[in-house]
Amino acid sequence: MIFTSSYRLESGEPVFRVWKIEGGALLRMDYFDGTRFWLSANGDEVWAQWPERLTLEDTATYLLGPVFGYLLRLRGVTCLHASAVDFNGRAAAFAGPPGAGKSTLAAALALRGHAALSDDIVAVTECDGVFHAMPAYPYLSLWQDSVHALYGGDGQLAPFSESFSKRMLPLASSAAGDLRFACKPTLLHSIFLLGERSADPSAPFVEEVEKRDALMSLVGNTYANHLLDDDRRAREFAFLGRLIAAVQVRRLHSHRETTRIGALCELVEREVAKKHHSKPVPASLP
């Protein structure tokens, strides 16, 4: 076994586990409900199996999230454990561990008219020292308490399926109330590292992040980094070094009171509006 999910059931059982099998030729992902995926080592093939009590929609929920994240990593694409939003051609990514509020913040910004790019996993590409956040799928995934924080006590969103408690906020559909989805790669302008929620009256607020701290934070917030061998890890370390030289990195602290989420959105909007003066870094440099 090479990985055990930090998400756990009330029983303490992890949501999924990952093994390398067949001498490393395949990855096997086992979910708590009996769903199983196999991924080829180069990320060009995937197979799935699920119990009769589950549906194709249940399986697709895994496929369009963690499984595709693993496939991208196997193909050499760096993915941040983050959500991303497009601010008129400038993308901001919100990175952090499970429960940090990535999806909730992305949804709040979408409700203010900004186009969402990706939820939970953000693929980042580089061309001549310029970095782009890639679009994923036109929905956001929210826990019910986040739905209440955004919509009030009467807020209701349908679950992804009968087997999942997370709620789906669709984008670019009539049901979404004209919420927008950014369907094209967007220039990555800012990365916000989601820090601890604060009771300080001045919250929400942002903090400067030293380059070294920014680098180590992003290393820790890349998705499925346990898949990397030494060579891939070294190349990704260099990639992240170029990334933090080219984009604005800040630590973002929200207020503990969810009623302050409007102020948090306004703060993010102001930060993204700022010009970032770092020049692109040639891809040959670490």
37 and 103 share one domain: no
Q: What is the mean pLDDT of residues 45-69?
A: 92
Rounded distance between C-alpha atoms, residue 64 and residue 72, angstroms: 12
CB distance 116 to 106 below 8 Å: yes
112 and 185 share one domain: yes
Rounded distance between C-alpha atoms, residue 115 and residue 84, angstroms: 9
Rounded distance between C-alpha atoms, residue 153 and residue 181, angstroms: 26
Among 47, 75, 103, the domain boundary falls at 75
CATH of residue 239's domain is 3.40.50
3's enclosing H/E stretch is strand 3-4
Rounded distance between C-alpha atoms, residue 230 and residue 134, angstroms: 26
CB distance 109 to 130 below 8 Å: no
118 and 45 share one domain: no
191's enclosing H/E stretch is strand 186-194
Residue 219 has pLDDT above 90, yes or no: yes
Phi, psi of 43 (to 5 degrees): 75, 20
pLDDT of residue 247: 96
Query: Residue 270's pLDDT band (boundaries 50, 70, 90)?
Result: very high
10-19, 182-191, 195-204: which has the highest mean pLDDT?
182-191
283 and 178 share one domain: yes
Residue 83 has pLDDT above 50, yes or no: yes
pLDDT of residue 153: 61
Query: Residue 177's pLDDT band (boundaries 50, 70, 90)?
Result: low
Among 34, 50, 75, the domain boundary falls at 75
37 and 94 share one domain: no
> Which among 109, 64, 112, 120 is positioned nearest to 85, based on CA atoms?
109
pLDDT tens column, 235-262? 999 999 999 999 999 999 999 888 899 9
Percent share of the chain, pLDDT over 90 = 65
15 and 92 share one domain: no
90 and 1 share one domain: no
- Residue range(s) defining the domain that contains residue 33: 1-75
pLDDT of residue 109: 96
48 and 86 share one domain: no
Query: Residue 67's pLDDT band (boundaries 50, 70, 90)?
Result: very high
pLDDT tens column, 94-106? 998 888 899 999 9
Residue 19 has pLDDT above 90, yes or no: yes
pTM: 0.89
Phi, psi of 231 (to 5 degrees): -70, -45
Which of 106-118 are b and which e, b meaning 16 or more Cβ less than 10 Å from the residue's Cβ?
bbbbbbeebbbbb
88 and 61 share one domain: no
23 and 89 share one domain: no
87 and 201 share one domain: yes
Q: Write the DSSP symbol of residue 97.
A: S
Residue 34 has pLDDT above 70, yes or no: yes
CB distance 260 to 203 below 8 Å: yes
Rounded distance between C-alpha atoms, residue 233 and residue 71, angstroms: 16
Query: Residue 144's pLDDT band (boundaries 50, 70, 90)?
Result: confident
Rounded distance between C-alpha atoms, residue 169 and residue 180, angstroms: 11
Among 42, 75, 108, the domain boundary falls at 75
42's enclosing H/E stretch is none
Tokens of 94: 């919100």
Residue 61 has pLDDT above 80, yes or no: yes
Rounded distance between C-alpha atoms, residue 94 and residue 81, angstroms: 8
Q: How many domains does the chain have?
A: 2
Residue 282 has pLDDT above 60, yes or no: no
Query: Residue 155's pLDDT band (boundaries 50, 70, 90)?
Result: low
